[in-house]
Chains A and B, each alone.
Chain A
């Protein structure tokens, strides 16, 4: 714990009457009246956790290390979820059937990011998109590159761009970004269920 009282910003001026408290009676403690009031205390806290991906996400992560995308199907609706969490959010039942998906996808929605809130991880502007991986029924987030940002639109066909095979791990970061695959755009009407 570190007290960084001295480096704190000045308190915000609050209009009269918005917030008031009775004056604190400090007469019981000698000399307290004359010292500077503590305006804030910064108490650092950190805790360490083990992350348990679970059965379905573990299957997904094992596959992604082999450069494969594997979703899981809802037994009631037939919908395929990626990354799978083990339960279908529509039926509430376990997803038990693994489904091999394609490595290409389609832009469902996107946004052009003009604000550097990732700490220079990407040069702005860049495009963050919701991408429907071939064979799945729910879009995932991805970075779209190798195309001017003002040419990205829903229906754009993409391929996934992966790290070198030697760098593959059990991580979504195996996919560096997504880039146009040259196929014709998918009509917007085909994407209605995914927006």
Chain B
């Protein structure tokens, strides 16, 4: 295996609705910023990969228009995933492993504001049995939360505590959308949005994006004083149909964590793609994290949830803390689909 590291990162200031800019205008400053930070020439990347979804913009091939921001002429080696950017990073990592690239630019973005996001996300369900019922993402998450509470995995009080901790942690995150919270006791007095979920249990709807640069071996060392090395990365999927799964656990996370080597050393921080508060205890358990592990010091998706970017941002948040020397080893998690269906786990480490 080749050593591959995240050597530079950038992200938008996440907002509820970026109504002035189109997608390429929203993501271009972030791409320009990460390129300048990386020290790689704008036209010098061996590979470029992006993640986005036409369903968010309501526009076919919307990703093609954002390619304007990567200086794709003369022609470049480029790919796109209709997935969170964490999977775009995975594709770039594979490309580098094959020896076809030493550097890669990866970016992803989502403007959820043009549509009705919970309804748009209902289109991810299977087209025959579930999609015709138009179950929203919040409805499905509520089924999972109820199952988790009944199984003793969490409680409404524990979920309110997670919401409070996440959004107050985000006060130190200059990119976060929500940076404060009422006390958990006050949160518990709120009405249900979808029983047992209250508004605070749900990630906000967000417009935003993220970009990173990957580099291999000595190239990474020459461009970055303390690269965030990807020591293990794996992704696994549970069944698509909700009724194929025990929603209170995440076997795919456990398998990916084992393959990525999460338990091969101490975990100092974990950035988890928790779109709902009850995801955190399910993921903590599936990852085998001890109670002492700090989860989502950035505030996580509960503080800013740009679709298609929130997973890659988890890797960025861990990488940033390795770049700064704050931590030496952390785990990042990204998810796709409903109720933690598809999961990617990456272990990032600093040297020395």
Contacts of B115 in A (CB 8 A): 47-50
Q: How far is the CA of A169 from the CA of B69 in the complex (A)?
A: 29
Contacts of A93 in B (CB 8 A): 28, 32
Task: Report if A86-B21 is in contact (Cβ < 8 Å); known contacts: A43-B127, A92-B42.
Answer: yes
Contacts of B20 in A (CB 8 A): 52, 54-55
Q: Mark B178-199, 1 if CB is under 8 A from A, else 0.
A: 0000000000000000000000
Q: Which residues of chain A from 127 to 153 have any CB-CB distance to chain B below 8 Å in the complex?
A: none
- A87 near B24 (CB under 8 angstroms)? yes
Kindly report which residue of chain A lies nearest to residue B127, judged by CB atoms: A43
Q: Which residues of chain A from 89 to 128 have any CB-CB distance to chain B below 8 Å in the complex?
A: 89-94
- B32 near A92 (CB under 8 angstroms)? yes
22 contacts between A and B (CB under 8 A): A1-B132, A43-B128, A47-B58, A47-B116, A49-B57, A50-B115, A51-B114, A52-B18, A52-B113, A54-B20, A54-B21, A54-B24, A55-B25, A86-B22, A86-B25, A87-B28, A89-B71, A90-B71, A92-B32, A92-B72, A93-B32, A94-B25
Task: Report if A86-B24 is in contact (Cβ < 8 Å); known contacts: A41-B128, A92-B70.
Answer: yes
Q: A156 on the interface (CB 8 Å rule)?
A: no
- A57 near B22 (CB under 8 angstroms)? yes
Interface residues of A (CB under 8 A from B): 1, 41, 43, 45, 47-57, 85-94
Q: B65 on the interface (CB 8 Å rule)?
A: yes
Contacts of B127 in A (CB 8 A): 43
- A87 near B25 (CB under 8 angstroms)? yes
Within the complex, which residue of A43, A49, A51, A92 is in contact with B69, where a contact is CB–CB below 8 Å?
A92
Q: How far is the CA of A133 from the CA of B282 in the complex (A)?
A: 58
Contacts of A47 in B (CB 8 A): 58, 115-116, 119-120, 123
- B114 near A50 (CB under 8 angstroms)? yes
Chain A nearest CB: distance from B273 CB in Å?
24
Kindly report which residue of chain B lies nearest to residue A90, judged by CB atoms: B73
- B22 near A54 (CB under 8 angstroms)? yes
Kindly report which residue of chain B lies nearest to residue A41, judged by CB atoms: B128
Q: Mark B22-35, 1 if CB is under 8 A from A, else 0.
A: 11110011011000
Chain B nearest CB: distance from A94 CB in Å?
6
- A43 near B25 (CB under 8 angstroms)? no
Q: B19 on the interface (CB 8 Å rule)?
A: yes
Q: B111 on the interface (CB 8 Å rule)?
A: yes
Q: Mark B88-126, 1 if CB is under 8 A from A, else 0.
A: 000000000000000000000001011110011001000
Q: How far is the CA of A43 from the CA of B125 in the complex (A)?
A: 13
- B114 near A52 (CB under 8 angstroms)? yes
Within the complex, which residue of A41, A56, A92 is in contact with B25, where a contact is CB–CB below 8 Å?
A56
Q: How far is the CA of A91 from the CA of B74 in the complex (A)?
A: 10
Q: B263 on the interface (CB 8 Å rule)?
A: no
Kindly report which residue of chain A lies nearest to residue B123, judged by CB atoms: A45
Chain A nearest CB: distance from B60 CB in Å?
12
Q: Which residues of chain B from 267 to 323 have any CB-CB distance to chain A below 8 Å in the complex?
A: none
Q: B143 on the interface (CB 8 Å rule)?
A: no
Q: How far is the CA of A172 from the CA of B221 in the complex (A)?
A: 51
Kindly report which residue of chain B lies nearest to residue A3, judged by CB atoms: B132
Q: B351 on the interface (CB 8 Å rule)?
A: no
Q: How far is the CA of A57 from the CA of B25 in the complex (A)?
A: 10
Q: How far is the CA of A55 from the CA of B70 in the complex (A)?
A: 19
Q: B172 on the interface (CB 8 Å rule)?
A: no
Q: Which residues of chain B from 1 to 44 have any CB-CB distance to chain A below 8 Å in the complex?
A: 18-25, 28-29, 31-32, 42
- B71 near A49 (CB under 8 angstroms)? no
Chain B nearest CB: distance from A98 CB in Å?
15
- B19 near A52 (CB under 8 angstroms)? yes
Contacts of B29 in A (CB 8 A): 94
Kindly report which residue of chain B lies nearest to residue A81, judged by CB atoms: B68
Kindly report which residue of chain A lies nearest to residue B111, judged by CB atoms: A52
- B132 near A43 (CB under 8 angstroms)? yes
Contacts of B21 in A (CB 8 A): 52, 54-55, 86
Contacts of B58 in A (CB 8 A): 47, 49, 51
Within the complex, which residue of B18, B31, B59, B111 is in contact with A92, where a contact is CB–CB below 8 Å?
B31
Q: B67 on the interface (CB 8 Å rule)?
A: yes
Within the complex, which residue of A45, A53, A88 is in contact with B68, where a contact is CB–CB below 8 Å?
A88
Within the complex, which residue of A55, A57, A91 is in contact with B71, where a contact is CB–CB below 8 Å?
A91
Chain A nearest CB: distance from B197 CB in Å?
23
Kindly report which residue of chain B lies nearest to residue A88, judged by CB atoms: B68
Contacts of A92 in B (CB 8 A): 28, 31-32, 42, 68-72
Q: How far is the CA of A88 from the CA of B67 in the complex (A)?
A: 10
Contacts of B24 in A (CB 8 A): 54, 85-87
Contacts of A49 in B (CB 8 A): 57-59, 114-115
Q: How far is the CA of A89 from the CA of B73 in the complex (A)?
A: 7
Chain B nearest CB: distance from A52 CB in Å?
6
Q: B131 on the interface (CB 8 Å rule)?
A: yes
Kindly report which residue of chain B lies nearest to residue A92, judged by CB atoms: B71
Q: How far is the CA of A45 from the CA of B119 in the complex (A)?
A: 11
